[in-house]
Structure 1
């Protein structure tokens, strides 16, 4: 069934992203491209160790491409952890080309972890979930090991950051523009989302 507008499917590794990514994309698309609309489908989760293998990734792509309406593009998202974000994204795209070359696909590896984007856009989280009203981003947020722990340290004593509990609300509040400026892998996500909506590759391209 053709909808006449973009339909974005996604494959993620974590339970938190499975709950939060759809809301992030629904917020991000009109922010990046005012007046644009896309249907954002619920993320399909595949554990990281399987996602990085060709056949399990192919199985996941077959599953999401069988949905109705049929996706016009797929976003694959995972944390880079200690690996090279550029290399991981390239590996995922290569595997996808070998089995689903017809599927428009982008792959984004968040440098260190998804929560590094929250650190970069931390001003938007001031006062949320007990975070201080004067919350400011740390320097070079993508170089920090333990972004989740950083968020916990900003919370009241006895509270802690919980991925599945906090990600869905934090994606609605963190500062998108600051995150794009402070976290290159989030800028990569923004450019890839623009590509999925418009079919045009933005000028800057550091992870492709």
Structure 2
């Protein structure tokens, strides 16, 4: 089973938050805690472009980092986390996954496309973030992905001077209700399922 995770992300906020998010998911859903390597960050446009194959280089680097920590590469996971933005997740995710697997067919790779973006997951758990967000009685939307509620939605309701991905994503990641987010955001549920498929359950003995 997976013991080490090497994330590939696009933003500074995700780079600072992904380790906390993955360990919180493991704790919430009774999974063994993974060792999360310092994330590899590349610009979204670079990861999407096939011209210079920045994704391939990032995958190679992630595989090398896993090999430094795992007796067998197959006991680690390369996790690609990227925002959908305007791209259809059902097309973008499989396309990136196929490219990554072509680069390192000997590695376990998963690709999760946050619909619409990482902040959409905060919208899905907004009630648990009232300390940071000013919400109306009818908020948040029950289907934040369908409503395309993301960074703009969070920024408009943020209680601080100005929402900053790098400064505020970690604190919001630490506070968000993961179960609520999983119910409302299918892309977050996919992330949880990818981990559940690879991490042993703590109660399994």
- TM-score with structure 1 length normalisation? 0.84
Structure 1 residue 74 displacement after superposition: 0.9
How many residue pairs end up in the alignment? 192
2:182 counterpart residue number: 180
1:201 counterpart residue number: none
Deviations 1:163-204 (A, max 9, x none): 111101111111101100001100011101112324xxxxxx
Following the alignment from structure 2 to structure 1, what is the Cα–Cα distance between the partners of residues 101 and 18? Answer: 24
Aligned pair partner of 2:20 in 13, 18, 23? 23
Deviations 1:56-91 (A, max 9, x none): 212111112212314611110100011111111100
Following the alignment from structure 1 to structure 2, what is the Cα–Cα distance between the partners of residues 5 and 155? Answer: 37
Following the alignment from structure 2 to structure 1, what is the Cα–Cα distance between the partners of residues 10 and 101? Answer: 20
Q: Where do 5+ consecutive residues of structure 2 fail to align?
A: 201-205
- TM-score with structure 2 length normalisation? 0.85
Residues 112 and 144 of structure 1 are in contact (CA less than 8 Å); yes or no, is this contact kept in structure 2? no
Residues 9 and 40 of structure 2 are in contact (CA less than 8 Å); yes or no, is this contact kept in structure 1? yes
Deviations 1:104-159 (A, max 9, x none): 0100111111100000011111113xx24878422321133452221222234x72
2:146 counterpart residue number: 143
1:91 counterpart residue number: 95
Following the alignment from structure 2 to structure 1, what is the Cα–Cα distance between the partners of residues 165 and 2? Answer: 32
Residues 52 and 91 of structure 1 are in contact (CA less than 8 Å); yes or no, is this contact kept in structure 2? no
CA RMSD of aligned residues (A): 2.2
Task: Say whether 1:100 aligns with 2:104.
Answer: yes
Following the alignment from structure 1 to structure 2, what is the Cα–Cα distance between the partners of residues 5 and 83? Answer: 30
Q: Where do 5+ consecutive residues of structure 1 fail to align?
A: 199-208
1:206 counterpart residue number: none
